[in-house]
Amino acid sequence: MAHIPGCFHKGDDPDYSDWGEIRDVPRAWERIGNGDVIAANAGANVELRANQRCKDCDNRARHP
């Protein structure tokens, strides 16, 4: 599941061991929405892959 920075799902829990980041991947958010699988390439867990977007984050991205 892909989230954008500041997503409330993380809350204030300091444990990032189950989180990865996608950095410097062109159009990653759009591509995940189109069904592509994007691998995390930074952050605490680079073995994660996103194949869907968080609906709350998607709404925030569309209506900032």
Condensed to tens digits (0 to 9), the pLDDT of residues 19-64 reads 899 999 999 999 999 999 999 999 999 999 999 999 999 888 887 6
pTM: 0.83
pLDDT at 5 over 80: yes
Q: Where are the domains of the chain?
A: 1-64
In angstroms, the Cα distances linking 17 to 14, 33, 45, 46, 62 are 9, 25, 6, 10, 28
pLDDT of 14 reads 86
Question: Which whole number is the average pLDDT over 5-23?
Answer: 86
pLDDT of 63 reads 77
